[in-house]
């Protein structure tokens, strides 16, 4: 349904909206905007839908939010008809779900795969974006009134800068960019570098295959058992029968968008035995909701330490070798201030005779040679390397696109000292460009699907408002943005989160500014703020009629 505009004599496809990325955010954005009659084109660099779940195919990859909750709520038929097999669906099942959604809502005709968005330039004379794509080695430009960056928070896999890595002669994998063919480690000596969530999920699975597994740990992480199990028909039915209320509570009442009991007291309000019993209950139930045992675990060091001590004691109980147990016990950050991990047998895996933990906290990895990883002056011979070294989170995928806003200023120039947005949705000087779950919104601190749906609905409503009122351009007011950035920081620094060197802070990328990127005020409060802004005629955003009269894009 695109129109053709003539730009410099060349025919250029013109859309109402270009969406970058066909993960859960991009797919729902396409669905919503198309429902409103807009012409939309989605560009996706992979050859399939699913985003994070398309790329993260490493052994043991699973969601860390229960699947009945980590799923779309916008279609009741979908949530009533889809069957999740397990409490935490494995990656192939989540990808199957993404493909089912793409087919069910006939999204594919408007998605162009194997296409990277390289550049987006705002034309102030037409209030339109000129978007340059590359596909099969060829560049092409299209135009759009709106650009929506649905690029994902954890999609820019980060290769570590380790001396000798490129000369290694064995197999090299990154958990965030796993091959699409099966990888078999049977009989191989494998090294896993990193001990974040991806390593914690994959280490037990790799250990079961490899002849020997060496895990290189720079920072120990807290992990809670998943207690994964097949979902029973009764469990599924309990959700299906109560979905509207469960979804409402997750959206409005919870901080992290996950339906659970809300704690009514702090950790120090209970005596030792009572507190331990509560932690035991949460530990045996498993999963991220461990941190919901009390209402002040993210706020009060002494309260937090009771939970951290409980988990450290569990590690000591599980891991037979006291020295290894000690290394696995995190001591340098409050529990939950880095994303807490959810595992199946991670700590117990270190009891296997074919698994070695190497502490590289003091000196890191010295270098990688043709067939070994050297750390602390010692060589560990390996056939395969698994880099579980994480992502340039939240801003990495946006930064890879060369975005020019008003006066030719680039987004990378503007964000050189850290990302600045109003509500995590728009950045001043970049009209009609929206970010889904961008920095300054709850995003990675929440059940991502809840946050994605909220942003998509808000953006779709906003675009509807602009069109109904004849506004051609909308952008964040610099003052509103400054106030929001200050608020995001103020709320973050009222918690224990900034005490950790986490990817929330950009601390995993050398040279990246240390700014607490997600908004920690909770999804319920945040949704209310966004709704209020919209109800007040998009307060803090400047709306303007056409810069110069242009023909409306096809729709
Ligand atoms: P994370 O959580 O960023 O973990 C990366 C791990 O890799 C972490 O343990 C890092 O140690 C380690 N790392 C990074 N660079 C190096 C080098 N150069 N040498 C040694 N070790 C290194 O990424 P994940 O993929 O595990 O998880 C990301 C999110 O995906 C997760 O939170 C879930 O939400 C899903 P460090 O901690 O920096 O000392």
Residues 462-513 pLDDT 10s: 999 999 999 999 999 999 999 999 999 999 999 999 999 998 989 888 888 8
What spacing in Å lies between the alpha carbon of 195 and ligand 1's midpoint?
Answer: 6
At 531-540, the pLDDT tens digits run: 999 999 999 9
Q: What stretches of 122-256 show up as alpha helix (H) in DSSP?
A: 197-209, 233-252
- The ligand 1 atom at the shortest distance from the C-alpha of residue 199 is 26
pLDDT digits 0-9 by tens, 318-333: 999 999 999 999 999 9
Per-residue tokens: 159: 């290769």
Hey, whose CA ends up nearest to atom 35 of ligand 1? 197
* Dist. CA 425–CA 451, nearest whole Å: 12
Is residue 555 very low, low, confident or very high in pLDDT (cuts 50, 70, 90)?
A: very low
Residue 80 CA to ligand 1 center (angstroms) comes to 36
Residue 6 pLDDT greater than 80, yes or no:
no
Higher pLDDT, 143 or 396: 143
Q: What is the DSSP letter of 315?
A: H
Band of the pLDDT at 4, cuts 50, 70, 90? very low
**Rounded to the nearest whole angstrom, what is the distance from the C-alpha of residue 362 to the centroid of ligand 1?**
16
Q: Is the pLDDT of residue 158 over 80?
A: yes
DSSP code of residue 539: T
- 3-state SS, residue 109: helix
Provide mean pLDDT across the span 201-217.
Answer: 98
Checking if the pLDDT of 374 tops 70, the result is yes
Select from 363, 385, 356 the least CA-distant residue to 372: 385
Q: 464 phi and psi, to 5 degrees?
A: -60, -40
Between 32-46, 123-137, 145-159, 539-553, the lowest mean confidence (pLDDT) is in: 539-553
> What are the Cα distances from residue 130, in Å, to 116, 143, 472?
14, 4, 15
Cα 323 to middle of ligand 1, angstroms: 22
Task: Calculate how far, in angstroms, residue 503's C-alpha sits from the geometric centre of ligand 1.
Answer: 8
Looking at the chain, how many residues does it have?
555
Average pLDDT value for residue range 155-163: 92
pLDDT above 70 as % of the chain = 96
Residues with CB under 6 A from ligand 1: 154, 160, 162, 175-176, 193-199, 216, 218-219, 339, 364-365, 388-390, 503, 508
Quote the pLDDT of residue 277. Answer: 98
**CA atoms within 13 Å, Cβ hemisphere of 40:** 27
Write the residue with the smallest CA distance to atom 3 of ligand 1: 390
Calculate mean pLDDT across residues 129-147. Answer: 97
For ligand 1, the distance from its centroid to the CA atom of residue 483, given in whole angstroms, is: 32
2-23: average pLDDT = 73
Q: Whose CA is nearest to atom 38 of ligand 1?
A: 508
Tell me the pairing of strands 40-43 and 10-20. Answer: parallel
Ligand 1 centroid–CA 553 distance in Å is: 44
Q: Which atom, in ligand 1's list, is nearest to the CA of 218?
A: 39
**Hey, which of 157, 197, 437 would you mutate to test ligand 1's pocket, going by the most ligand atoms within 8 Å of its Cβ?**
197
For the purposes of burial, counting CB atoms within 10 Å of the CB of 369, is it exposed (0-12), middle (13-18) or buried (19 or more)? middle
Distance (Å, whole) CA 121 – CA 125 = 12
pLDDT in tens, 222-281: 999 999 999 999 999 999 999 999 999 999 999 999 999 889 999 999 999 999 999 999
Beta partners for residue 359, in sequence order: 217
Residue 66 has pLDDT above 50, yes or no: yes
State which of 64, 390, 396, 502 you would mutate to test the pocket of ligand 1, scoring each by most atoms of that ligand within 8 A of its C-beta: 390
Query: Does 300 score more than 70 pLDDT?
Result: yes
Give residue 514's pLDDT: 87
For residue 550, the model assigns a pLDDT of 39
Please identify, by atom number, the ligand 1 atom nearest to the C-alpha of residue 507: 38
> Ligand 1: which of 198, 291, 385 to mutate, judged by most atoms within 8 Å of the beta carbon?
198
Stretch 135-140: mean pLDDT: 94
Three-state SS at 436: coil
| pLDDT at residue 361 greater than cutoff 90 | yes
**Three-state secondary structure call for residue 131:** strand
Please name which of 342, 415, 396, 412 lies closest in space to residue 508, comparing C-alpha atoms: 396
Ligand 1 pocket test target in 374, 508, 509, 512 with most atoms within 8 Å of CB: 508
What's the mean pLDDT when you consider all of the chain? 94
Work out the pLDDT band at 7, boundaries 50, 70, 90: very low
Q: Report the distance separating Cα 109 and Cα 392, nearest Å.
A: 31
Which residue puts its alpha carbon closest to atom 31 of ligand 1?
Answer: 197
Looking at ligand 1, which residue's alpha carbon is closest to its atom 30? 197
| Cβ–Cβ < 8 Å for 53, 23 | yes
Spacing, Cα 217 to ligand 1 middle (Å): 10
Taking each continuous run of H as one helix and of E as one strand, the counts in the chain are: 15, 21
Q: Which pLDDT band holds residue 554 (cuts at 50, 70, 90)?
A: very low
Identify whether the C-beta of residue 150 lies closer than 8 Å to the C-beta of residue 26.
yes
pLDDT band at 546 (very low <50, low <70, confident <90, very high): confident
Distance CA 23, CA 215 (A): 31
Measured in degrees and rounded to the nearest 5, phi and psi for residue 536 equal -90, 30
Q: Which atom of ligand 1 is nearest to the CA of 365?
A: 19
Percent of the chain scoring above 90 in pLDDT: 92
Q: Which of 24, 163, 194, 338 to mutate to test the pocket of ligand 1 (most atoms within 8 A of CB)?
A: 194
N- to C-terminal Cα separation, the chain: 7
């Amino acid at each position: 349904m695109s129109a053709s505009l003539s730009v410099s004599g060349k025919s250029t496809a013109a859309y109402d909206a270009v969406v970058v990325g066909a993960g859960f955010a991009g797919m729902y954005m396409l669905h919503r905007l198309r429902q409103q009659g807009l012409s939309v084109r989605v560009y996706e660099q992979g050859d399939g839908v699913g985003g994070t779940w398309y790329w993260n195919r490493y052994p043991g990859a699973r969601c860390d939010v229960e699947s009945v909750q980590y799923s779309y709520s916008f279609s009741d038929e979908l949530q009533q008809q889809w069957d999740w097999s397990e409490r935490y669906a494995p990656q192939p099942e989540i990808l199957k779900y993404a493909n089912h959604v793409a087919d069910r809502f006939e999204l594919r005709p408007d998605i162009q795969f194997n296409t990277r968005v390289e550049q987006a330039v705002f034309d102030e004379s037409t209030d339109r974006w000129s978007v340059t794509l590359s596909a099969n080695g060829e560049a092409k430009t299209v135009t759009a009134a709106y650009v929506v960056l649905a690029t994902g928070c954890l999609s820019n896999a980060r290769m570590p800068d380790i001396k000798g890595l490129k000369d290694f002669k064995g197999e090299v994998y990154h958990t965030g960019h796993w091959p699409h063919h099966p990888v078999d480690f049977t009989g191989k000596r494998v090294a896993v570098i990193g001990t974040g969530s991806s390593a914690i999920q994959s280490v037990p699975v790799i250990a079961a295959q490899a002849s020997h597994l060496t895990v290189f740990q720079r920072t120990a992480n807290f992990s809670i058992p998943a207690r994964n199990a097949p979902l029973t028909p009764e469990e599924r039915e309990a959700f299906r029968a109560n979905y509207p209320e469960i979804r409402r509570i997750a959206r409005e009442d919870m901080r992290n968008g996950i339906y659970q009991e809300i704690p009514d007291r702090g950790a120090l309000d209970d005596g030792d035995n009572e507190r331990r019993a509560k932690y035991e209950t949460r530990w045996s139930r498993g999963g991220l909701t461990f941190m919901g045992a009390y209402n002040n675990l993210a706020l009060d060091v002494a309260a937090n330490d009771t939970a951290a001590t409980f988990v450290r004691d569990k590690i000591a109980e599980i891991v037979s070798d006291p020295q290894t147990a000690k290394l696995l016990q995190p001591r340098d950050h409050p529990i939950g201030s880095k994303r807490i991990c959810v595992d199946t047998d991670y700590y117990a895996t270190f009891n296997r005779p074919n698994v070695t933990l190497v502490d590289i906290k003091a000196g890191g990895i010295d270098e990688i040679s043709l067939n070994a990883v050297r750390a602390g002056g010692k060589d560990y011979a390996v056939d395969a390397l698994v880099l579980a070294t994480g992502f340039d989170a939240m801003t990495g995928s946006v930064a890879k696109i060369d975005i020019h806003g008003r006066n030719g200023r680039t987004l990378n120039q503007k964000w050189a000292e850290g990302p600045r947005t109003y509500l995590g949705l728009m950045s001043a000087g970049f009209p009609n460009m929206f970010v889904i779950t961008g920095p300054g919104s709850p995003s990675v601190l929440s059940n991502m699907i809840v946050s994605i749906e909220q942003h998509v609905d808000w953006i779709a409503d906003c675009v509807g408002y602009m069109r109904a009122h004849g506004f051609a351009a909308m952008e964040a007011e610099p003052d509103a943005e400054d106030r929001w950035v200050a608020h995001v920081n103020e709320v973050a620094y009222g918690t224990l989160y900034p005490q950790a060197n986490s990817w929330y802070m950009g601390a995993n990328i050398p040279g990246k500014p240390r700014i607490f990127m997600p908004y920690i005020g909770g999804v319920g409060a945040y949704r209310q703020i966004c709704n209020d802004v919209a109800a007040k005629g998009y307060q803090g955003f400047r709306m303007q009629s056409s810069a110069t009269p242009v023909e409306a894009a096809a729709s």
